[in-house]
């Protein structure tokens, strides 16, 4: 039993998420992933896959791995301790407002960029006109 249907090997993870093995080992060393260690090799569970999805997503929004690690704590059954749970709850609330702010900003940025694209189109059209004129 080198792998069940439930777990992924490191290669399968690499293929599924388009990351290198080094990255997965690195994330494990940073306590972002917790694959089962059977003998020498790693077996990544469904939980690890969910975590990795969140990690990669977080990265796309500019969060550091340490930020993400703290967020992931809340996705754990770690709430044994009330103080701990309260703390991570507050962190998550904070993160939520950050993301909502980011969303507003993203909308703004998209609008800006669209405006710029229209500008670019106008200028490209100008080039097209000059070319036509030159041809006559």
Partner DNA sequence: CGTTACATTTACGTTAACGTCACCCTATCT
Partner DNA sequence: AGATAGGGTGACGTTAACGTAAATGTAACG
What are the residues binding a second copy (CB under 8 A)? Answer: 54, 57, 59-62, 74-75, 79, 82, 85-86, 88-89, 92-93, 95-96, 99-100, 102-103, 105-107, 109-110, 112-114, 116-117, 120-121, 123-124, 127
Separation between Cα atoms, residue 23 and residue 65, nearest integer Å: 12
Q: How far is CA 45 from the centre of its chain?
A: 19
Nearer to DNA, 8 or 88 (CB): 8
- Beta-carbon contacts of residue 111 (< 8 Å; ≥ 6 apart): none
Nearer to a second copy, 69 or 95 (CB): 95
Q: Are 52 and 17 in contact (CB under 8 A)?
A: yes
Residues lying near DNA in the complex (CB under 7 A) are found at 2, 9-11, 20-23, 25-26, 39-42, 59, 64-66
């Amino acid at each position: 039993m080198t792998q069940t249907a439930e777990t992924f090997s490191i290669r399968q993870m690499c293929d599924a998420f388009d990351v290198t093995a080094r990255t997965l080992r690195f994330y494990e060393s940073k306590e972002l992933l917790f694959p089962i260690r059977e003998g020498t090799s790693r077996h990544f569970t469904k939980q690890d896959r969910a975590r990795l999805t969140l990690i990669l997503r977080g990265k796309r929004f500019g969060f550091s791995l340490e930020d993400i690690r703290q967020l992931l704590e809340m996705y754990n059954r770690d709430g044994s301790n009330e103080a701990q749970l309260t703390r991570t709850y507050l962190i998550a609330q904070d993160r939520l407002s950050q993301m909502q702010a980011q969303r507003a900003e993203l909308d703004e940025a998209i609008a800006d960029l669209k405006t710029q694209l229209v500008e670019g189109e106008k200028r490209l059209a100008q080039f097209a006109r000059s070319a036509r004129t030159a041809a006559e």
